[in-house]
Amino acid sequence: MQNLKMGMIGGGEGAFIGEVHRLAARIAGNVDLVAGALSSTPEKSIRSGHALGLERVYPDYQTMLESEARLPDDERIDIVSIVTPNFLHQPQASMALANGFNVICDKPLTANLEQAIQLGKEAQDTNLKFAVTYTYTGYPLVHEAREMIQSGELGTPRKVIVEYLQGWLSEPIEQEGQKQAAWRSDPTKSGIGGALGDIGVHAANLVETMLGQHITSVSAHLNRVVPHRQLDDDGQVMLEMESGIRGHMNFSQIAVGEENDLNIRIYGDKASIEWHQMNPNTLTIKRQGKPVETRTTGFSATSPSATAMTRTPGGHPEGYLEAFANIYKNFADDIIATRSGNSGSFTYPRLDEGIRGMKFMQAAFDSDKNSQAWTKIE
C-alpha cells in the first residue's frame, strides 16, 4: 500500500517536539507529512508550512480538519499528529476523531483526567486508531527487559526504582520568555502537572511497560523548588503494583547538570536488570555472586520483540529518534493492516495508556494534597 498521509497540528517555528515527530515519521518510512496547521497564529502557520514544503497548509486546525474531511479518500490525510501544549490535546483530538482521522498525540494525553475520560468515550464509538507518544517504549531493550520478566528470568519481581532527572528548569527561565518553559510552567496550558506531566508520566509508563502490570496506588510528594513557580518541578512517588510489589520514583527538572537521565532498575528474587536511556543500547543483568551480564541491541541473543524494534546491526547504536520512529511505524502498520482486513500484533502505546497516565497524575496530585496519603488509581 501507499504510505499513509499525515497532517500535523502544532510544531511550527520555534517548536521542539514537532520536528522530532517529523523526523520520526520519515525514519518510520510508511508515513508522509502532507498537510499542517502548525501554529495558533495563522500567519506563522502558513509561513511554517511553506518552509516545510507541505502540499496543503492551513491557518488553523479547525480549517485543516474540516477541509481534509471533505477531500476524496485517496487524497485526504489518514493520520493527525498533535504536538501542541497539553491544554489543546483534547479539543484537537476530539475534532480529529469526529472527522474520521486516526490520531497520534504527544503526552500527557490531556490537561486533566476528566478530558482524558471524555476522549476515551469518544474514541470507543469509532474504529479509529489512537497512539500516545510514550517515546521510551520504542527502545528495543525495553522490550527485551519486559520479555525477561515475563519469561521468569528474573524470578518474582520484588522492587522497582525509576529516576527521571533533568536540570533545564533549575532557573526561572519561563520569566525570561523561554517558550518551552513558559507553557510548561503555566497551569492553564500545562494542566495539573508540571514535571509530573512532562517526565513523571514517562517514568510511570516505563515501569508499567517493563513489568507488564499496572501501578495501583501511589504516595506522592510534589515540590515547587524554584520561587514563584505554580506547578511542580520536582517530586518523589512511592509506587505499589498490581502484584503488591513496591517501588520508588524520583523525578526532577531542577537537578542541576542533568540532561535527560531516565534510569530504571527492577529486582527479582533470581536476578535484576538495569537500563539507562542515555545509554539505551545496553541492558545490564545482575545475579547474586555471579559476573555481571550485558545484552546489547542488534544481536541474536535478544528476544523476538526486541529484534522487531531494532533497525541496525549490532554495534551500530540506535537512539531517541529510532525509538520514536518505532511508535510511528507500528501505529501506521496497524492502520494499514486493518484497512487490508488483516490482523496482527502491533506494539505501540495506545489511548488506554494515555488515560492511565492521567489517572496516575491525578492520584499523585491528590496524594500530595492529602499529606502524601496512599491513593488508589481507579
Q: What is the pLDDT of residues 277-292, one digit of tens each?
A: 999 999 999 999 999 9
Indicate the pTM of the whole model: 0.96
Average pLDDT of the segment spanning 167-187: 95
What is the chain's mean pLDDT, rounded? 96
Phi/psi for 299 (5° steps) reads: -115, 155
Is the pLDDT assigned to residue 343 strictly greater than 80? no
Q: What is the pLDDT of residues 208-237, one digit of tens each?
A: 999 999 999 999 999 999 999 999 999 999
- Given this model, what pLDDT does residue 342 score? 85
Average pLDDT of the segment spanning 113-128: 96
Does 145 map to a domain? yes
Confidence class for position 101, pLDDT limits 50, 70, 90: very high
276 in the same domain as 190: yes
219 in the same domain as 72: no
What's the per-residue H, E or C state across the chain? CCCEEEEEECCCCCCCHHHHHHHHHHHHCCEEEEEEECCCCHHHHHHHHHHHCCCEECCCHHHHHHHHHCCCCCCCCCEEEECCCHHHHHHHHHHHHHCCCEEEECCCCCCCHHHHHHHHHHHHCCCCCEEECCHHHHCHHHHHHHHHHHHCCCCCEEEEEEEEECCCCCCCHHHHCCHHHHHHCCHHHHCCCCHHHHHHHHHHHHHHHHHCCCEEEEEEEEECCCCCCCCCCEEEEEEEECCCCEEEEEEECCCCCCCCEEEEEEEECCCEEEEECCCCCEEEEECCCCCCEEEECCCCCCCHHHHHCCCCCCCCCCCHHHHHHHHHHHHHHHHHHHHCCCCCCCCCCEHHHHHHHHHHHHHHHHHHHCCCCCEECC
343 in the same domain as 296: no
Average pLDDT of the segment spanning 43-61: 96
Cα torsion for 267, 273, 278, 281, to the nearest 10°? -160
Does 302 map to a domain? yes
154 in the same domain as 132: no
175 in the same domain as 30: no
Does 316 map to a domain? no
- Given this model, what pLDDT does residue 221 score? 98
285 in the same domain as 235: yes
Does 239 map to a domain? yes
- Given this model, what pLDDT does residue 283 score? 97
Does 322 map to a domain? no
Does 320 map to a domain? no
Confidence class for position 253, pLDDT limits 50, 70, 90: very high
Average pLDDT of the segment spanning 285-302: 93
Residue 198, all three cell numbers: 512532562
272 in the same domain as 246: yes
Q: What is the pLDDT of residues 362-371, one digit of tens each?
A: 999 999 999 9
Does 319 map to a domain? no
Is the pLDDT assigned to residue 28 strictly greater than 80? yes
161 in the same domain as 187: yes
175 or 342, greater pLDDT:
175
- Given this model, what pLDDT does residue 300 score? 78
Q: Which domain holds residue 233?
A: 141-311+355-376
Is the pLDDT assigned to residue 301 strictly greater than 90? no
Q: Domain of 339: which CATH number? A: 3.40.50.720
115 in the same domain as 28: yes
- Given this model, what pLDDT does residue 345 score? 87
The CA-atom distances, in angstroms, between 95 and each of 69, 90, 102, 105, 313 are: 11, 8, 11, 13, 42
- Given this model, what pLDDT does residue 1 score? 67
- Given this model, what pLDDT does residue 148 score? 97
User: Measured over all CA atoms, what is the biggest interatomic distance in the chain, rounded to whole angstroms?
Assistant: 66
Is the pLDDT assigned to residue 321 strictly greater than 70? yes
Number of separate domains in the chain? 2
Q: Domain of 359: which CATH number? A: 3.30.360.10
107 in the same domain as 52: yes
129 in the same domain as 15: yes
Is the pLDDT assigned to residue 91 strictly greater than 70? yes
Does 190 map to a domain? yes
Share of the chain above pLDDT 90, in %: 94
290 in the same domain as 250: yes
- Given this model, what pLDDT does residue 81 score? 98
- 122-126, 327-331, 350-354, 363-367: the lowest-pLDDT one: 122-126
